[in-house]
Amino acid sequence: MGARRDLQLRTKSGSLIPVTISLYPLDGSGVGVVLATVREGSARERRSKADILVAEIGRIVNSGLEIQCVYEAVVDSIPALVKYD
């Protein structure tokens, strides 16, 4: 119904969480009614980051490098792809 936007909601504790809002028009009601759903969005972000990681590892593995070079390239690329504290 509209463009996807990155949105955040503030929780009672004051922290911000990513959310996805979907709108669904309900036809046949005779009135302009829209059903809105709000879902916590961090799971989607984690899947997206995991997809990027898998794609990069796949690119390295299929690059034709010798296996030892593949291992080293994967190890070298992990810190840039996986953010951790």
- Sketch the domain layout of the chain as residue ranges: 7-40, 44-81
Give 71-85 pLDDT, tens digit per residue: 888 788 777 766 665
Residue 3 reports pLDDT greater than 70: no
Rg (CA), the chain: 20
For the stretch 35-53, pLDDT in tens is 788 878 776 666 777 787 7
DSSP the chain: ------EEEE-TTS-EEEEEEEEEEETTSSS-EEEEEEEE-HHHHHHHHHHHHHHHHHHHHTT---HHHHHHHHHHHHHHHS---
pLDDT for 28 equals 66
Instruction: Give the pLDDT confidence score for residue 77 in this predicted structure.
Output: 78
